[in-house]
Amino acid sequence: MDTLLAARGLLKDYGKVQAVRGIDLAVASGACLGLLGPNGAGKTTTLEMLEGITLPSGGAILYRGEPLGAGFRHRAGIMFQDTALPEHITVRETLRMFASLYPRTRPLDELVERCALGEYLDRDNRRLSGGQRQRMLLAIALVNDPDILFLDEPTTGLDPQARHNFWALIEDVKAEGKTVLLSTHYMEEAYTLCDEIAIMDHGEVIARGTPDELLARHFSDVVLQLPPDAVPGGPDALPLPARQGPEGLEIETCDVNAAIAALLAAGVSLSGLRIRSRTLEDLFLELTGKALRA
């Protein structure tokens, strides 16, 4: 695929603090690239520079092979991490207001239908639920029919149903051939939506590839999970190296049969045993040593 947006040696300094340290990124046209990283890793700063909102301290950003120009704002749609909506006006009025800012827009009826806003058009912005609000913010980001869509943690705070509904909307956007750059704290979200992911830590990209490529590159084992009360003595009472995980005791092994045999020989009950493949959450911890919201 052709590269739509690229960063070369991108730097951002805030006084003595170097928030972004010379990263290189290339976002293919029609693809979804996910930016993952712990808080303070530089994800939002990177997005703001790519969006043309924050000037970099060094490096270059290219859109279709050319430096970002004034026209880029008409080709980009942005859904910020935090957005203050106008109060005392309706969803309909808000969409019309944002549409008036652009020389070219998508039909508002189309956006209303796509983002399931028809029932709320005459509702004051202050009375929207979390999921309704995020769908409206997505409609605002799409109002200028952008080539590239920036989403900064778009589903934070949503319940699982609202989150999955939002994912379906993004899948529809991708199906149109739009390019998406997504920052997220949710590993399932990244795995579901992203063609590629870039993991950041301390202002640098420390790993990049498709989710499956990264998992295959770093792991060849699986994880056995035992319920918290399966072994009263905890990890030290097991015959195999184990750790206390969020859902019980976890054993990493490349030989499931041998691991189960060792547990049975030690008299460990296998009731409630789960065997799971490695996940992006495991990869994140492996590379950064941090929980995702550390």
pLDDT score for 290: 61
One digit per residue, the tens of pLDDT, for the chain of length 294 reads 699 999 999 999 999 899 999 999 999 999 999 999 888 889 999 999 999 999 999 999 999 999 998 889 999 999 988 788 888 999 999 999 999 999 999 999 999 999 999 999 999 999 999 899 999 999 999 999 999 999 999 998 889 998 999 999 999 999 999 999 999 988 899 999 999 999 999 999 999 999 999 999 999 999 999 987 878 777 888 889 988 887 888 999 999 999 999 999 988 889 899 999 998 888 888 888 765 443
> Nearest-CA neighbor of 293 among 20, 37, 34, 19?
37
pLDDT score for 291: 53
Residue 20 lies in a domain: no
> Nearest-CA neighbor of 183 among 165, 172, 170?
170
DSSP H or E run through 275: strand 274-276
Same-domain check for residues 193 and 247: no
pLDDT score for 293: 46
CATH number for 107: 3.40.50.300
Cβ neighbours of residue 147 closer than 8 Å, sequence gap 6 or more: 4, 75, 76, 178, 179
pLDDT score for 70: 85
Q: What's the rounded Cα separation, in Å, for the pair 123 and 89?
A: 8
Looking at the structure of the chain, the number of domains it has is: 2
Q: Which two tokens stand for residue 276?
A: 């799971």
Number of H helices, E strands in the chain: 10, 14
Considering 194, 216, 238, which residue would you say is the last residue of a domain?
216
Same-domain check for residues 256 and 197: no
| Cross-sheet strand order for the sheet of 179-183 | 76-79, 148-152, 179-183, 32-36, 196-201, 204-209
In angstroms, what CA-CA distances link 141 with 115, 194, 219? 11, 19, 38
Q: Is there a contact between 140 and 68 (Cβ–Cβ < 8 Å)?
A: no
Determine the structural domain holding residue 232 and report its residue range: 220-277
Residue 19 lies in a domain: no
Helix H segments across the chain? 43-50, 72-75, 91-99, 108-114, 130-142, 160-175, 187-193, 211-218, 256-265, 280-288
Same-domain check for residues 228 and 210: no
Same-domain check for residues 244 and 227: yes
Q: Is there a contact between 77 and 144 (Cβ–Cβ < 8 Å)?
A: yes
Same-domain check for residues 83 and 123: yes
Residue 201 lies in a domain: yes
